[in-house]
């Protein structure tokens, strides 16, 4: 039992989250207006997912920031599936 748990613990200990943040204007809202999870296959090679931040906020001038994140559980899914399935999350923050 312990030997089977060791790789899982090692992956979680060595992995962290990766977040890319794109700031469009000043402000830092605490609650995202839109949250989306995307699943990529074969490490996302040649794949694109789009989030329309302007539509989520009612106009491009209302977008404060957009974040794309890969959490430790997403990294675990990627490792367990040998990169066949790689999830990532995206969040859109709007003004007001």
pTM of structure: 0.73
27-76 pLDDT per residue, tens: 777 888 989 998 888 878 888 888 999 999 999 999 999 999 988 888 88
Rounded to whole angstroms, what are the CA distances from 40 to 10, 53, 74?
23, 20, 11
* Distance of alpha carbon 50 from alpha carbon 19, whole angstroms: 17
């Amino acid at each position: 039992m312990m030997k089977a748990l060791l790789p899982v613990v090692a992956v979680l200990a060595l992995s962290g989250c990766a977040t890319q943040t794109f700031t469009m204007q000043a402000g830092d809202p605490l609650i995202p207006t839109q949250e989306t999870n995307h699943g990529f296959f074969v490490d996302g090679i040649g794949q694109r997912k789009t989030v329309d931040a302007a539509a989520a906020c009612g106009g491009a001038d209302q977008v404060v920031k957009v974040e794309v994140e890969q959490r430790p559980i997403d990294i675990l899914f990627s490792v367990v599936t040998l990169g066949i399935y790689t999830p990532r999350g995206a969040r859109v923050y709007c003004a007001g």
